[in-house]
Structure 1
Amino acid sequence: MKVLNFVHLVFISCLLVSLHSFASSDKPVKGRFVITQQGEEQLIDGSHESITWFFNLDGNGNALLKISSWHAQFTCDGVYQVVQENKQLQFIWKKDSNPNSACNTPSPQFIMKQDGKNKWQIKSELFPWGDGGWEDLKISKNK
């Protein structure tokens, strides 16, 4: 009888752990985020070169990245697959979905994480300025 009770206990424990894992799985992130980096060198007109990245995550594991630049080169804009790994979102540029664009930076091109309730951070080899660490993202209200 003790063996049967033990088997039941193990079965129920496994079932509860499975249900908890399923219930607590992270939902895909949906939202719009933006980051701007500005170069240090001053241009002739007094402005600085800059790049702005606009991330639009659809909540289904895809993202669209639009890049705007002021006198700075950029690459890897377009459609991304977003994969969650260890509470971080990894952005993988989809070559087949971006036939008219190029991206020579290895995947993941961007890594994003939540650092607080409404605070998000991102890092990338594509960021030309900064120390290569985590940069703060802004949540964009624009559509």
Structure 2
Amino acid sequence: MRELTGSNDGPQINAWQKAAGAALYGPWCGVYQAANQRACGLPVPKGAAGSYNWFTDKTRTYYFTGKRGSIDSLKPGHVVGFYYASLGRIGHIGRAVEMGRSIRKGRPARGWYVNAGNTGRGGGRDGGGVRVVFYPSSDISAAANWLY
């Protein structure tokens, strides 16, 4: 799935943005996750277009860097957030797909493969498509379970 002109647009992206009540041509990582949730009959947060809104529910958000929990609780299917100092908040969201392999047997994984919309080949929040990208665990700033 790729943007039509590189300006956060395309028939499917526009449909996701309309369904989420988001402005057209805006960042769409949150509306991509919302579309996936709705397709599976799962709940979405209010303001799902804003990636930060996925991590405001204290019963679902079990990890937030420096505030609560541990990244070790992350499981496939949970949503993960990435903090951007330039925004002063979570500015990108994806879904954990698979744990990366550990460097040595018996050691924790060094990261996760994450499926995200509006991302580039190397990750980030302003790319042109849907991709699965590897992120080191240290890059993941928040995690929440929206599977119930």
TM-score by length of 1: 0.29
The structure whose Rg is larger is 1
TM-score by length of 2: 0.28
